[in-house]
Structures are given as structure tokens and as C-alpha cells.
Chains A and B, each alone.
Chain A
Amino acid sequence: MSSALAGLLQLLALIAALALAYRPLGDYMARVYSSDKHLRVEKWIYKAIGANPDAEMRWTAYLRGVLAFSAVGVLFLFGLQRLQGSLPGSLGFKSIDPDQAFNTAASFVSNTNWQSYYGEQAMGHVVQTGGLAVQNFVSAAVGIAVAVALVRGFARSRTGELGNFWADLVRGTVRILIPLSIIGAIILVACGVIQNFSGIHEVGQFMGGHQQWNGGAVASQEVIKELGTNGGGYFNANSAHPFENPNAFSNLFEIFLILLIPFSLTRTFGRMVGSVKQGYAILATMAGIWLAFIGLMMWTEFAGHGPAFQLAGGAMEGKETRFGIAGSAIFSVSTTLTSTGAVNSFHSSNTGFGGGIDMLGMQLGEIAPGGVGSGLYGMLIMAIIAVFIAGLMVGRTPEYLGKKIGTREIKFAACYILVTPALVLGFTAAAMALSTPAHSMTNSGAHGFSEILYAYTSAGNNNGSAFAGLNADTQWFNTTTGLAMLLGRFLPMVFVLALAGSLAEQKPIPASAGTLRTEKPLFTGLLIGTILIITGLTYFPALALGPLAEGLAS
């Protein structure tokens, strides 16, 4: 069997697994966020928080909850890293410098998991397991909560109420993320992912002498790293490290975990707005883009464009033998089209076009299928823009899911789509204009520019993967990427929740003959076109200077 055919079969197996999980998980999540019953353990948690989970919140109160919880998360994680040197269970690792501690705290709270540190030589058990992995859970739960609040905005009428943030946060963690993580972690351990607290210890070698291993609670962190579309590796090599991703099955399983919740949330959305077909239209848009990107990535990676790869006979630089090119290409596209950023091959050593596909995936706003929660709300914003454009064409007030898209709504949506490009392109321009940031590049020329564009694309879109050739542990990069991550996460959330509040206040308008049928394939086509045109116009000039210039020359 050829590698390409085997790759195709892997893709089909992955799609089959996702399809099997889609309905049960999507329906389950809809029940989780609609139920008025509380589990006993949840009641204890609400008591400890001192919050009434049944109190409805308007969008401002919901937003205050999101921001307060995240601000406390940043401060706590910052403090934990600054104190690492004095905490027990830190394996003798020193406290992290302030700029790097800020960057890492911003990174994990914003669900980005950009890493300017080397996992195995910087972070001990306490920070990894008690700090970073905790944010892997709760930042994912926050993302889903905000998406659910927006869906409630569509589903509810004549009220400003969007649900209770504390209840959504706790339910997402307790009823969705933890149960799935327990199952996934045990499967990963069975594959060979390590799970121990033996710290750094010596192991014999074939040729004599010893090698030092860093043990740790890797499986329990690996699973939520993928499931919560976080992406921060326990080890520097992330999911390319054999202790994080030991074989071809674990590789496909990890890709499955990355895509599981983002795709299934479209079912949850359909259920909650009372029409699963609306969910299918969104799903079709996400899946269409995802498949097209995988096709393009497979084509360029199997062709091995690039002089050094031609010389080597294939683009295996930065790739593991056990995954091969197909297993690396599917992972690479799935991690950049969600907000994950975990890598099982090194994107800087992808072909020029391959690196461009990774970047474009993030620049689309990570909505195909996107991060947990953030993918759904990002895609719904694009749907509003698409409905608006269609409305302009026929000269009628646009509506979506029975809600008018008026001036207020379109302003919030427009602000949302402007935030990330402004951050990405602004910071990239500043880094290129100044003299010192460029010293961090490993490669020169077009690829060097790509390293910096990739870094801010990754940070602003909360992805976290890197063209790791860039030495990002400098004060400039730690500070600016940290800011890009925080602003790129929480400013869009402000607009999403404001929009949700505005929608929830409206009274529903019945569908008429002139209503755009947003559950039909025509709308899916319109939506894909809108996404590509808006992103293309925004990022094309920058992409032309980096990956396109490189790809056309090789």
C-alpha cells in the first residue's frame, strides 16, 4: 500500500470516528447546558464559590465573571511560576523570570499555550500539573461557556439573560471535560504515554552510561491538552515526543481528541436553537474547509517542495518515522484549524506552502472547526457577516435564526473580526521595523519573515504552535506575544457576549418567503466564500511576503 493511500484510510477512519461521536456527544452537551438539575459534587463546588448557579446573568454580568475568573487565573499562574524555586515538588527547577512567567500565564489562561520555555528543563510537577494542566481544563470550559451564551442569545427572546457563568464553567469541567479526559488518559497510557511522579531519574543505555528522563503526569495532561484544544506540551517536542505520542494509533487518537468537541458543538448549537439542520450547515462549512486544507497539505508535503527536501528524497525533516508524512499532515492541519497548537511535526520544516497552509488556517480565525467554544462563536460571527452581505445584495434587513441583524449586531460582529488581524499585523509590522526582534530568527529571507508572522498569527489567534525557529524567549517577544494572546482572547469575547445580550433582547421574527435559508447548502457556500474573501483580503499581502514567496521559488 502506498503512503498516500494509507493516509487516505487514516483520514477516513478519523472521519468515521468523529461521525460516530457527533450526535451522542452533541446532544449530551446540549442537555448539560440546558438542564436545571445540579449534581451533588457541583452543589459542593457552588457552595465553596459562594455563587447561586440558578441566578440568570445579563451579558455584562456574564462578561464580568469571565474576566474576573481569567484575571485571577493569570495572577495565580504567574505567582506559581515565580515561586517555583521555593515550592516542593519542583524537581529543583528555578523560579521563572517575570517576563516569561507573564507570557506563560497569559498563554495558558487564554487557551493559547504558546511556549517560550522548554518544558522538560523549566517546569516541575507543581507548575505543570497543578497550574498549567488546570488552565487546560478551565480555559477550555470558559471557551465553551461563552459559545453557549451566544447560542442562548439566539435561542432566547425578550430577555437579556444568558445563563449563569459559574454554572456553565463548572458543568463544562465536571460533566464534559473530566469524564472524557479520564477515558482518554487511560487509553493514552495503554499506548505508552507515561504517567508517574518519579521526577528526573537515570536509565541505563545500550552503549553503557545513563540517560536522564523527566517523568511526570504526562498522560493526564496530554489528553486535556488535545481535548481542550490547548496544545502546550509537557516536553519541548510536544506531541512529537514519544512519551507524549508513542505510536500511530495514539497519533490518530490525539487528532480525534482535538476535533471531537469543536465539531460536536455544532450539534449542540443546532439542538439549542431548535433546528439540528442549522447545526449541519455550520458543520458542513467547517468540515469543507478542514478537508480542503488537508488535501492541500498532503499534496505539498508528499511532493516535498523545497530544495533540501528534494535532495533528501522527501520532506521528513522534523517528522517522526512512526507517523510519516500523512499522519503529520493531518495533525498539522487539525492543530492549526483549531486553536490547539500542539505539534507532532515541526511546522518550520514543513514545505513553504505547507507552512503557509498552517498560517492561513489560523488566520481564518480558527473556525474550521476552531477551538472548543471559540470555534463555534467565531463561525457564528462569520455567519452573521455572511447573512449581512446577502442582505445587502437583495436590499433587505438581514436576519439569522429568527433574529434581526441590525446596526448594533453588525457593529459587534465587525469589531470581532477586526481585533485579531489588527493585533497580528500590527505586532508583526512593529517587530519587523525594530532592529532587535529580527535577531531571534533562525532562517533568513522569506522564511525568517514567516517565523515572525507565524508567531503573532499564533498568539493573536490563540493557537500556540510555532515556527519554532524563532527564539521567542526575549523580553520583546514574551511581552508582545503575551499581550496579543490576552487581547486576542478576551476582546473578541466582549463583542461576542455583547452581541449575545443584544440578540436575546429581541423578539423573534417569523421566517418569511424572503428569509435566507441558512440551513441550505447555498448558505454553506456563501459562508465559505465570505470567510475566504475576508481573510484573504486581510492577510494576503503579508502571506505574499513570506510563505508564498518561498513556495513559488521552490
Chain B
Amino acid sequence: MNTSLGSTARLLGAALRALLVLTVVTGVLYPLAITGVAQGLFSHQANGSEIKDADGKVVGSSLIGQTYNLPLKKGEQTPSPDLKWFQPRPSNGLGANSVNTQYRLILSGATNRSGEDGAEHDPKTGKAYCPAKPAEGTLCAQVMDAEAAVVKDNSVPGYKVDAAQIPPDAVTSSGSGLDPHISPEYAELQVHRVAERNGIPVSEVEHLVSAHTEGRTLGFLGEPRVNVLELNLALKELTG
């Protein structure tokens, strides 16, 4: 009994020493070395790919999506979008910091809503469909509300948005809630509104969008996209 207890203790001691040594190697030396190399060679990327406006002021990261809203008015629950600027995707899954209240961190996250959230079933065929008035907060309702808002916000005299032309990214939330991009189709759809609100010709805004449309990396990786912050920065420069 004593010998087996003793051998167990010796074994656990060896295990603890192994863990501590490997902690020093993989948890201290390795991350410090990587940080050193990263800061030395790629300090822009390693520190969050910050982006500056024309005055040299940091206005965020080219990788992190932002909101372009008007200041919250009295009695308003959620701020309304500032339609002068290109708008990002919805981000209904973003959370607010709730544990460590000394910070106002934005918590990345998705809605985690399923494709049949808020749907009803046809009693005859059993098929699921989004009803005309889905329960509030469900994905059916989120998509429907977003579609209505996109149509209303982007229809300007001489340019009527049709619900069928709205791309999916305009009415769905991304996985991180921080998606910095929109699809070129969604950017295109906002061109007339942005031109009108800023009092500049449509062709100039169109030119801006096409200049900021990135194709697939190497021609086949990922999807074509437009970085909203970079686009808005260019727009700001254009409108002065």
C-alpha cells in the first residue's frame, strides 16, 4: 500500500514538473518570441490594422466593422442609421460586456438563430414558411424588418429598390457581428441614396464603390467584398 502510494506521489510529481516546464516553453517563451517577431516585422497587423483618416486620426481598424448611426435621440431605444454614409450589415448578435463592468467592451457574437426561427408550418404540406407577422425577435422577423428598412432607406426619387434585388448580407447578421465588409451588390444598392444625401452625382459614388470593391483573393479565395470603413473614408474625403 505504502509503496503504491509513494509511486503515485512520485508520478504526480513528475507530471507536475512536466507541466510546469512545458508551460514555460509553450506558454511563456513561445508567445513572447512570436510577439517579438510580430512586432518587429508586422507591427501594423499585430496591433490591429489601425486605419487613419485624412487628418491622421485613428478611426478604427480596417478589419473591424463599425456602426454609422445618428446620435441617440430622446425616447429612442435604438439609434437610427446616418444615411449619409454607407451602412454595414446588421449585427443583432453583438453583445455588451456584462461581467467585467469596468470596461465597455463590445462582445463579438452571432444571433445563433436557425433558418426556421419564427416560421410556421403549413398544416397541409407540413412545409415551414415565414408568416406575414412573425413573432418579434425571431429570425423571420429580423430578416423581414431589415428588408423593409433597406427598401425604405434606399428608395430615393428616381430609384426604387425592389425587395428581390436585396442581397442576403444586407438582411442577415454576420458570425462575429463585426463583419467589416458588405457585398458589392449591397454597396451598389446604397449608391443612389448616398449620392442624394451628400448632394453629389451618382456616377461619382458609383466610381467610388467600384474603386473599393475587392475581388476574390487570387481570383478564387473568398467572396467579392467592399470594406465599409474604407469606403466611407473615401466618401468623406470626396465630400470634404
Give Cα distance in the complex from A242 to B147, angstroms: 26
Q: Which of A24-32, A43-51, A480-488, A497-505 contacts B (4 or more CB under 8 A)?
A: A43-51
- In the complex formed, the residue of B with least CB distance to A210 is B104
Beta-carbon contact of B14 and A49 below 8 Å: yes
Q: Which residues of B contact A71 (CB under 8 A)?
A: 12, 15
Give Cα distance in the complex from A240 to B179, angstroms: 9
Partner of A178, one of B25, B64, B114, B221: B25
Q: Size of chain A's interface in residues, with CB distance under 8 A?
A: 126
Beta-carbon contact of B168 and A200 below 8 Å: no
Q: Which residues of B contact A554 (CB under 8 A)?
A: 115-116, 119, 127-128
Give Cα distance in the complex from A323 to B31, angstroms: 28
Most buried by A among B119, B144, B222: B222
State whether the Cβ of A229 lies closer than 8 Å to any Cβ in chain B. no
Q: Which residues of B contact A131 (CB under 8 A)?
A: 27
Q: Which residues of A contact B58 (CB under 8 A)?
A: 203-204
Beta-carbon contact of B105 and A212 below 8 Å: yes
State whether the Cβ of A217 lies closer than 8 Å to any Cβ in chain B. yes
Beta-carbon contact of A237 and B220 below 8 Å: no
Q: Which residues of A contact B142 (CB under 8 A)?
A: 308
Within 8 A of A (CB), among B37-74: 37-39, 41-42, 45-50, 53, 57-61, 63-69
Partner of B19, one of A138, A251, A312: A138
Beta-carbon contact of A182 and B34 below 8 Å: yes
Most buried by B among A10, A91, A166: A10
Give Cα distance in the complex from A320 to B111, angstroms: 13
Partner of B174, one of A64, A65, A305, A318: A318
State whether the Cβ of B197 lies closer than 8 Å to any Cβ in chain A. no
Within 8 A of B (CB), among A132-189: 133-134, 137-138, 166, 169-170, 173-174, 178, 181-182, 185-186, 189
Convert A514-554 into 0s and 1s, putting 1 for each residue whose CB lies closer than 8 angstroms to a CB of B. 00000000000000000000000000000000000010111
Q: Which residues of A contact B143 (CB under 8 A)?
A: 308, 311-312
Beta-carbon contact of B110 and A134 below 8 Å: no
Q: Which of A116-124, A271-279, A282-290, A414-422 contacts B (4 or more CB under 8 A)?
A: A116-124
Q: Which of B91-99, B151-159, B188-196 contacts A (4 or more CB under 8 A)?
A: B91-99
Q: A121-B107, A317-B115 are in contact. Are A92 and B26 (CB under 8 A)?
A: no
State whether the Cβ of A93 lies closer than 8 Å to any Cβ in chain B. yes
Name the distance in Å between B208's Cβ and chain A's nearest Cβ: 16
Q: Which residues of A contact B140 (CB under 8 A)?
A: 307-308, 311
Beta-carbon contact of B113 and A317 below 8 Å: yes
Beta-carbon contact of A348 and B114 below 8 Å: yes
- In the complex formed, the residue of B with least CB distance to A351 is B115
Give Cα distance in the complex from A224 to B104, angstroms: 29
Name the distance in Å between A192's Cβ and chain B's nearest Cβ: 5
- In the complex formed, the residue of B with least CB distance to A547 is B114
Beta-carbon contact of A134 and B27 below 8 Å: yes
Beta-carbon contact of B129 and A307 below 8 Å: yes
Q: Which residues of A contact B147 (CB under 8 A)?
A: 311-312
Q: Which residues of A contact B167 (CB under 8 A)?
A: 313-314
Give Cα distance in the complex from A428 to B118, angstroms: 25
Q: A317-B139, A447-B114 are in contact. Are A3 and B223 (CB under 8 A)?
A: yes
- In the complex formed, the residue of B with least CB distance to A327 is B222
Beta-carbon contact of A134 and B34 below 8 Å: no
Name the distance in Å between A464's Cβ and chain B's nearest Cβ: 16
Q: A323-B223, A554-B119 are in contact. Are A69 and B168 (CB under 8 A)?
A: no
Give Cα distance in the complex from A343 to B109, angstroms: 11
Convert A326-369 into 0s and 1s, putting 1 for each residue whose CB lies closer than 8 angstroms to a CB of B. 01100000000000000111101101100100000000000000
Q: Which residues of B contact A404 (CB under 8 A)?
A: none
Beta-carbon contact of A166 and B57 below 8 Å: no
Q: Which residues of B contact A508 (CB under 8 A)?
A: none
Q: A248-B222, A307-B140, A320-B174 are in contact. Are A72 and B31 (CB under 8 A)?
A: no
Within 8 A of A (CB), among B70-113: 82, 85, 89, 93, 95, 97-100, 102-113
Q: A10-B220, A214-B105, A349-B114 are in contact. Are A130 and B232 (CB under 8 A)?
A: no
20 additional contacts (CB under 8 A) given A186-B38, A308-B142: A9-B220, A50-B13, A72-B19, A122-B100, A138-B19, A166-B18, A189-B41, A196-B39, A203-B58, A206-B68, A212-B103, A212-B106, A224-B26, A235-B108, A249-B221, A249-B222, A306-B119, A348-B110, A550-B114, A554-B116
Please give me the 8 A-B residue pairs with the lowest Cβ-Cβ distance, nearest first. Answer: A306-B115, A248-B222, A240-B175, A314-B168, A324-B223, A237-B108, A237-B176, A346-B110
